[in-house]
Amino acid sequence: MANIFDLFKKIETKQNNTPITYIIAGLGNVGAEYDKTRHNAGFMAIDSLAESLGVKIDRVKFHAYVAEANIGRARVLLMKPTTFMNNSGVAISEAAAFYKIAPENVIVLHDEISFDVGVIRIRRKGSAGGHNGLKSIIAHLSSDSFPRIKIGVGKKPSPDYDLVSFVLGKFSKEDLETLSAKYLDINAAIRLMLEGKTEEAMNKYSR
């Protein structure tokens, strides 16, 4: 009978040889000064997903911090681009080209200032809607046909409030608690999307 440790090694080797079929990218800015800012909602969400999967997004590749994981039957690459928000497409397009991933298999998590904190909207594709991170991804993938999960971070206190100051502002303690309560829904939505059930994820978790 094979040694149990040899069996585990064989299973691990088989998993690691499984090709990457999806990219899940959380958008944000690297650096301690951007920690817990509104623009980093995508980073925060993908960190929660990684924690639930028992992995750390800490390997440097494709101008990003990355980790590989299994979600259901899918082998995915988790990404946090280090190119800063406005150049997010540089990192994501490099990874997509390397693994030959179609835009339809790139899931992007990003902040959305049109929604109240914690509101989630799932879309199969669409325009950038003024979001510079999405603009960069669309430009580098030459497509807007990638699904995305929009994470509400709250609206500007007034129309004339400076947008940059707002998105680079820190979440309040209460807002952080509201967001944290939504990570389970985001993770569940991602699992459905990887199973080809995006419509179900939209109906169940888009609010």
Burial class (CB in 10 A: 0-12, 13-18, 19+), 163: exposed
Nearest-angstrom CA–CA distance, 93 and 80: 13
- E-assigned strand segments in 63-204: 64-71, 74-81, 106-112, 120-123, 148-152
Residue of 39, 63, 110, 140 marked catalytic: 39
Q: Which two tokens stand for residue 174?
A: 């209460």
- Does 140 participate in catalysis according to the annotation? no
Burial class (CB in 10 A: 0-12, 13-18, 19+), 161: exposed
Return the DSSP state at 82. S
- Active site (catalytic) residues: 39
